[in-house]
Amino acid sequence: MHQSTITNTDLSVESLNGIAVERYSEQNGLIGLKLFPLDEVEKHSGSYAVLDEKSIMKGTKNTKVTADSAIKQVTFTFKDALYKTQLSRLKTVITAEEVAKYSSRFNAEVVGLQTLIIDQMRSAELNAKAKIDEILTAHTVATAWDNSAAKPNQVVQSFQSSHFGTKVSSRANACVMSEKVFNEIINSDYFNSQNKHIGGIQTIDQLKDAVAVWFRIPPMNFTIVGIDALKDGNGEGLAVNASSIWGDDFALFFVTTRGPFNGQPCFGKTLRWGEFDSTDVNGAPDIYDGFDDHGNRTIYAQKHRSEHVVSANCAYLLDGLLT
């Protein structure tokens, strides 16, 4: 199938790309690109920096010198890890019959593209989950957060010091968690007793911001896993068995930086080979299309990426939060 100029529809490839970008910008609770923000690489494979944690915590040096003494040197080093981005494609076929049949009610091409994009997004989410399962070991809390005796904010402040403060010299500035864990927090007497200013009916964004501040996390970096992050446990032709890709019992605190890796501690990046991938800041894939002799349109979504861990110590995974 070839990239083509559209002749039998008003919906151009540029319009399709615009719809894809819009859909990506309104991701409903997907966290893959929160954990691994985009960073463009010039080659599809090669080496990419990772932090040498040993160089971060060398201890304080005595900087006092005499006229003839040597000046002590501070070293901050990086290691190289190999990466290889992976091409991924999905397609959907919208027949000329479908376009004509539903034209008075909706645009079948738009609906087909939106379905395609959601599947692409969920595929990326599964890749991120697999990477998390590969490199992180969960820490089970001593008291589940749905227990009235739980004090979640104190738990977080404890490992902010004991883990992040000693291993990466940078506190976690981001958090993702399941909706069930979030609901337990906002419905708990302990949280509400410490946030008495939250009275009356609150929007979900106000409640999210309140929990983020309670954990001392910037609200813009606090995300609840949402309805888009679903997987079907059954195969083709079987009844849908939907469940969360991430599960219900987890919270993950981590260090993140926006944009390209700049040498500062961070958990990871999604490496994107720009030669065959979109430069959209929200992560939307490239869209292209083709037609057969009967006017049926095939729409493709293409990406060339891989998840890369810069520092596993820049993340702290919790489970056992729900009984």
Residue 138 near residue 23, CB atoms below 8 Å: no
Residue 146, pLDDT score? 96
Domain that holds residue 223: 13-53+79-319
Judge whether 3 lies within some domain.
no
Q: Which residues pair with 175 in a beta bridge?
A: 222, 253
Judge whether 68 lies within some domain.
no
Judge whether 2 lies within some domain.
no
189: tokens are 């007497």
Residues sharing a CB contact under 8 Å with residue 123, sequence separation 6 or more, in sequence order = 88, 90
Instruction: Provide the 3-class DSSP secondary structure of residue 264.
Output: coil
Residue 278, pLDDT score? 77
What pTM was computed for the model? 0.86
Residue 55, pLDDT score? 65
Residue with tokens 């969360």: 244
Instruction: Provide the 3-class DSSP secondary structure of residue 18.
Output: helix
Q: Which residues pair with 41 in a beta bridge?
A: 273
Judge whether 162 lies within some domain.
yes
Q: Alpha-carbon distance 185 to 150, whole Å?
A: 10
Strand 174-177 relative to strand 38-41: parallel, antiparallel, unpaired? unpaired
Residue 193, Ramachandran bin (φ over 0: left; ψ between -120 and 50: alpha; else beta): alpha
Question: Along the 323 residues of the chain, how does pLDDT read in single tens digits?
Answer: 334 333 345 578 888 888 888 877 777 788 998 999 999 899 999 998 887 766 665 555 667 777 777 877 766 667 888 999 999 999 999 999 999 999 899 989 988 998 888 888 888 899 999 999 999 999 999 999 999 999 999 999 999 999 998 888 789 999 999 999 999 999 999 999 988 776 666 788 889 999 999 999 999 999 999 877 888 877 777 788 888 899 999 999 999 998 788 878 899 999 999 888 877 878 888 888 999 888 899 999 999 999 998 889 999 999 999 99
DSSP, res 284:
P
Judge whether 67 lies within some domain.
no
Judge whether 147 lies within some domain.
yes
Judge whether 96 lies within some domain.
yes
Residue 95, pLDDT score? 92
Output the domain CATH number for residue 34.
Answer: 3.90.1690.10
Residue 201, pLDDT score? 61
Based on the structure, what is the number of domains in the chain?
Answer: 1
Closest C-alpha to 227, from 82, 27, 9: 27
Residue 58, pLDDT score? 58
Residue with tokens 């200013």: 197
Judge whether 6 lies within some domain.
no
